Amino acid sequence: MACIDPAPTLPLDVEREIFETLAFSSPQYISKIMLVAQRVKTWTEPVLYRSLIISTVHMSAATHGTRTLSLEDFLELLDRKPATFFRDSVRFLALKLIPFNVAPRILNHCSRVTHLALFSMWTDPSWLSAIKKMPLLEISAGIDGLLNRTGDLYGPGFQGLTHLNLHDPPSANGWVDGLCSLPLLTHLSFNDENPPRNTECREILSKSKSLRVLVLLVITDDQITTLVDGLGFECFADDVRSVITIDNNDVLEDWRSGAIGGENYWVRSERLVQKRRSGEVSGTFIYILWRSNMQDYDACIL
């Protein structure tokens, strides 16, 4: 009679695929999954850092697929992990209040990031060489400092962008033409604290061949009607691609939601654009999306 192997084994590549699939589908259990075996830890630990937030201010611990580290903790890990660990792990990276002389070190080690956000930070041209090496699809930043006021959005690092959130418009002449030349850019947003001029928005809507959504992003707890009276962006009323999004949620939390495949302001704004295109709502209004108490509200204002 043939003997039955009491401990059948799977090929390593199959075993790895099983554990990696489990890690991606249930990131809250990765810390337990890593205890199975050293090889399983090697396969699944990078998933913990796929979406990473590094900050110098205290933040609540992230859950459901996003890792939050203090700058001190990240730098300690950087010294302990292999040089390629964060390069091979991190795809979504948000930095908040990181000193300008430390940021390049982080960016150089996370060189395969596809979605980058720089919050509450002065950017510097010295970071640009690291950023241009990334296969970026999305960036959210005060980009003027990075470009050293040249307005140059050409070349590696930007040509693959599909989503761009500018915390303030570039100061250089001709920046609109540079932006409109980005071949894959479909989603563009500006923060309301320092928005572009109405004429610049109209020029972007006129010249960009790929743009599907243009957003003026307003983060506030104020009343909608008070804000709308003072915005004065007529171009957001007569072009179906344009949306003024008023949101009373933290921008970093919104970014975190998008990083794990949840709903963020891009998704909510695009939903309104689709409604305008389909005729479900009239294109003669300025449309406002406001999220409050974890619910979505679509509103249109003359």
147-166 confidence digits (pLDDT tens)? 765 556 666 678 899 999 99
pLDDT for 218 beyond 50:
yes
Model confidence at 57, pLDDT cuts 50, 70, 90, reads confident
In this predicted structure, which of 29-38, 95-104, 110-119, 238-247 has the lowest mean pLDDT? Answer: 29-38
Model confidence at 146, pLDDT cuts 50, 70, 90, reads confident
pLDDT value, residue 73: 93
Q: What is the mean pLDDT of residues 33-53?
A: 79
In this prediction the pTM is: 0.84
C-alpha closest to that of 96 among 38, 134, 37, 142: 142
Q: What is the mean pLDDT of residues 99-125?
A: 93
Inter-residue long-range contacts of 150-157, CB under 8 Å, 24+ positions, other chains counted: 151/175, 151/178, 152/178, 153/178, 153/179, 153/181, 153/182, 154/178, 154/181, 156/132, 157/128, 157/131, 157/132, 157/133
159-194 confidence digits (pLDDT tens)? 899 999 998 888 777 888 888 989 999 999 998 777
pLDDT value, residue 129: 87
Give me the helix-helix angle, 38-48 and 12-25, nearest 10°: 40
Would you state the torsion angle of the CA atoms of residues 46, 162, 220, 202, taken in this order, to the nearest 10 degrees?
Answer: 170
